[in-house]
Chain A
């Protein structure tokens, strides 16, 4: 049944996936098996997205399926340490003044399903909040999102603030959202930019040595 669940998630068969989850629980299977099937299913979804077989509709629904299964399974896993061996920690947020979240959410979702621990700060995130999280959560990577051109200056300010706080050397910074290029990346003082969620995963992996 685990393989069937993996396949249902990978093929975005929402009802089948939820039904199989329930069947596995009814049959007394270990909830961790279900989460493992989710992980495998999501890896396939991610791969199909990178191959441009899947697009945002599939990613969004797959994300919903995962969330629904997690809600069923997580209460049964109390006390279990999960996600202990993540590749790295990433703090992500849409910068101050900008409240666009669709792209940021998709990047967060793809990073999460690629085994990164993602700390999502939401939208309209001031520089001070990024700094606070870098200090307390010690992430390897900071990902800043912004859709408007105002975000360029805000990202620039945020990078400068991180620098002033003496934290710039501790993190790699990636930017995404609006159309970007090397000039913008340099203007902002980030390390790299990405144009889609796959690029964010590739970048993050290249920085922390995951595959």
Chain B
């Protein structure tokens, strides 16, 4: 029975439950009715819908409508929604220093990009570990947002014991702090509208029979420190220069990672996306991965699973040589998304432990033909689909691609990926 035939005979509620179950079955390593397919999201749905990414980032209704257009035409089993169309207005109000986006340093249809830097300097590790909240508030926020520079004068909240609150609240009288807070209020209201739009979209697609794919986003602890605070050069050189402080920081970040993920608990599809960036093959050695990257990531994954969250470990680089480590995760509770991977080996090693997804190369979707895509996807289903446990998806978040190639990926999954 194909998706399209289903649509005629089943209620949207039935279809919603079926789609949720299809993915949950994969996670439980049970054979679903067919290979699920995730909606590939980043720039692609907006290009498909014929809107510029600049417009999508500036007008939340435009973003929602574009995602609806994509959803209606491709019918993914779980949908990313407009969350990756970040709120340009709020970011402009805040004067974000580490981001370039369409209309702010980049062309109207160019994917936004991160500006690497040391937003925590090497000598600030101890400060971060001692009180991450105060560090983020008084150092990271002012460095990250021009309009919040005044928060550099924010007094540490930890010093409010007994009559310490007098000093804390007196600190609010600082003109710089007051100005920053006013700016934060305005931006906060704008961000509220953005989150409201995302929530609205989730309700709208649920009514159409589609679950929202991700209830939360988190990171590997090493990458929380690397992506947000130290930058690639910073954190990788810290492995050589200050290993103990780095380990203390990743240790601290481990519980933060679990907290980030906790928002997904209780959702029909309690998936949390976990970015993996700087621990891939080619970046650090096996010994470095074993010491600096994996123990905190495993602990974070275990903590998330304990909270009822399904971690979707998004391996954005080549992690074939890390598979041995991946086998240590709690069984039937995790999805490993593979960008660059020996998928046969992944199925062999993880087949009884965790679901796997992805691996349709983005370059193929841009440069190859529908037949090439069809062949590649069939190969993936043959290699990884047996007994369930595989979810079709692109290698990385999808930007530029030929529509006919994306369509081929969806079509072949539904024609060829049927179990019963």
Q: Give me the interface of A with B, judged by CB distance under 8 Å.
A: 12, 14, 52-58, 60-61, 64, 97-102, 148-150, 152-153, 178-181, 183-184, 187, 195-196
Given contacts A55-B288, A149-B362, A178-B363, contact A12 B399 (CB under 8 A): no
- Check A57 against B107 for contact (C-beta < 8 Å): no
- Check A12 against B240 for contact (C-beta < 8 Å): yes
Q: B110 — which chain A residues lie within 8 A by C-beta?
A: 97, 150
- Check B107 against A99 for contact (C-beta < 8 Å): no
- Check A150 against B367 for contact (C-beta < 8 Å): no
**The one of A102, A180, A195 that contacts B363, using a Cβ cutoff of 8 Å:** A180
Q: B113 — which chain A residues lie within 8 A by C-beta?
A: 98-100, 148
Q: A181 — which chain B residues lie within 8 A by C-beta?
A: 361, 363
Among the stretches B177-185, B207-215, B277-285, the one at the interface with A is B277-285
**The one of B111, B233, B363 that contacts A60, using a Cβ cutoff of 8 Å:** B233
Complex CA gap A180/B364 in Å reads 10
Q: B282 — which chain A residues lie within 8 A by C-beta?
A: 55-56, 195-196
- Check B237 against A64 for contact (C-beta < 8 Å): yes
- Check B400 against A153 for contact (C-beta < 8 Å): yes
Complex CA gap A60/B115 in Å reads 18
> Quick check: is B366 within 8 A (CB to CB) of the other chain?
yes
Distance between B247 CB and nearest chain A CB, rounded to angstroms: 14
Q: B15 — which chain A residues lie within 8 A by C-beta?
A: none
Given contacts A55-B282, A61-B241, A179-B339, contact A149 B366 (CB under 8 A): yes
Complex CA gap A54/B339 in Å reads 24
- Top-4 shortest CB links A-B: A57-B239, A187-B367, A57-B236, A61-B240
Complex CA gap A100/B106 in Å reads 13
Q: A178 — which chain B residues lie within 8 A by C-beta?
A: 362-363
Complex CA gap A52/B233 in Å reads 19
Chain B 99-114, CB within 8 Å of chain A: the 1/0 string? Answer: 0100000110011010
Q: B116 — which chain A residues lie within 8 A by C-beta?
A: 101-102
- Check B363 against A152 for contact (C-beta < 8 Å): yes
Given contacts A102-B232, A153-B400, contact A56 B115 (CB under 8 A): no
User: Is chain A's interface secondary structure helix, strand, loop, or mixed overall?
Assistant: loop
Report 25 cross-chain contacts, Cβ distance below 8 Å, ordered by A residue: A12-B240, A52-B285, A55-B282, A56-B236, A57-B237, A57-B239, A57-B240, A61-B240, A99-B100, A100-B113, A101-B116, A148-B111, A149-B363, A149-B366, A150-B110, A152-B367, A152-B400, A178-B363, A179-B340, A179-B395, A180-B363, A183-B364, A183-B367, A184-B363, A184-B367
Q: A53 — which chain B residues lie within 8 A by C-beta?
A: 285
> Quick check: is B159 within 8 A (CB to CB) of the other chain?
no
- Check B233 against A102 for contact (C-beta < 8 Å): yes
Q: Which of A12, A61, A98 has the most CB of B within 10 A?
A: A61
A97's nearest neighbour on chain B, judged by CB, is B110
Distance between A101 CB and nearest chain B CB, rounded to angstroms: 7
Q: A14 — which chain B residues lie within 8 A by C-beta?
A: 240-241
> Quick check: is B401 within 8 A (CB to CB) of the other chain?
yes
- Check B368 against A183 for contact (C-beta < 8 Å): yes
- Check A179 against B115 for contact (C-beta < 8 Å): no
A99's nearest neighbour on chain B, judged by CB, is B113
Q: Which of B106, B115, B282, B288 has the most CB of A within 10 A?
A: B282
Q: B237 — which chain A residues lie within 8 A by C-beta?
A: 57, 60-61, 64
User: Is chain B's interface secondary structure helix, strand, loop, or mixed overall?
Assistant: mixed
**The one of B233, B361, B399, B400 that contacts A179, using a Cβ cutoff of 8 Å:** B361
**The one of A56, A150, A183 that contacts B284, using a Cβ cutoff of 8 Å:** A56
Q: B339 — which chain A residues lie within 8 A by C-beta?
A: 179
**The one of B115, B233, B240, B284 that contacts A99, using a Cβ cutoff of 8 Å:** B115
Distance between B107 CB and nearest chain A CB, rounded to angstroms: 6
Given contacts A98-B113, A179-B339, A179-B361, contact A58 B400 (CB under 8 A): no
Complex CA gap A66/B340 in Å reads 33
- Of residues 227 through 255 on chain B, the ones whose CB sits less than 8 Å from some CB of chain A are 232-233, 236-237, 239-241
- Of residues 398 through 414 on chain B, the ones whose CB sits less than 8 Å from some CB of chain A are 399-401
Distance between A114 CB and nearest chain B CB, rounded to angstroms: 18
Given contacts A99-B113, A102-B116, A196-B282, contact A58 B240 (CB under 8 A): yes
Distance between A6 CB and nearest chain B CB, rounded to angstroms: 18
Q: B233 — which chain A residues lie within 8 A by C-beta?
A: 60, 102
Q: A179 — which chain B residues lie within 8 A by C-beta?
A: 339-340, 361-363, 395
Q: B106 — which chain A residues lie within 8 A by C-beta?
A: 97
- Check A60 against B367 for contact (C-beta < 8 Å): no
Complex CA gap A58/B284 in Å reads 9
Q: B367 — which chain A residues lie within 8 A by C-beta?
A: 152, 183-184, 187
Q: A54 — which chain B residues lie within 8 A by C-beta?
A: 285
Complex CA gap A99/B98 in Å reads 12
Distance between B376 CB and nearest chain A CB, rounded to angstroms: 11
Given contacts A55-B283, A61-B241, A179-B395, 12 further A-B contacts (CB under 8 A): A55-B285, A56-B283, A57-B236, A60-B233, A64-B237, A149-B399, A150-B110, A150-B400, A152-B400, A183-B364, A184-B363, A184-B367
Q: B400 — which chain A residues lie within 8 A by C-beta?
A: 149-150, 152-153
B110's nearest neighbour on chain A, judged by CB, is A97
Q: B364 — which chain A residues lie within 8 A by C-beta?
A: 183
Distance between A145 CB and nearest chain B CB, rounded to angstroms: 14
Complex CA gap A56/B288 in Å reads 11
